[in-house]
Amino acid sequence: METDQAAWLDTVQHFGSRFHRVAGSVKRLMQAAREAGQHWFQGKTAAQLAYKSG
């Protein structure tokens, strides 16, 4: 898993306000949302900033 170190630190410091039900890469967030019958979960922007790919 490739991460942007500064963005990762910021994500960890503000974790509770950026992710609510699940956390991970955008790909994993979208997969979890589909599996839960949802269109999306909060955290897509945070995931895009924290993870370089996926």
* Whether residue 52 has pLDDT greater than 80: no
Any idea where the domains of the chain sit in the sequence?
5-50
CA–CA distance, 26 with 10 (Å, rounded to integer) = 17
Written as six digits, the tokens of 37 are 């019958």
In the block, tokens 């992710």 appear at: 19
Q: What is the pLDDT of residues 5-44, one digit of tens each?
A: 888 888 889 888 888 788 888 898 899 999 999 988 888 8
pLDDT of residue 32: 92
Q: Does the reported pTM lie above 0.85?
A: no
Written as six digits, the tokens of 42 are 């909060």
Cβ contact 50:3 at 8 Å: yes
pLDDT of residue 35: 95
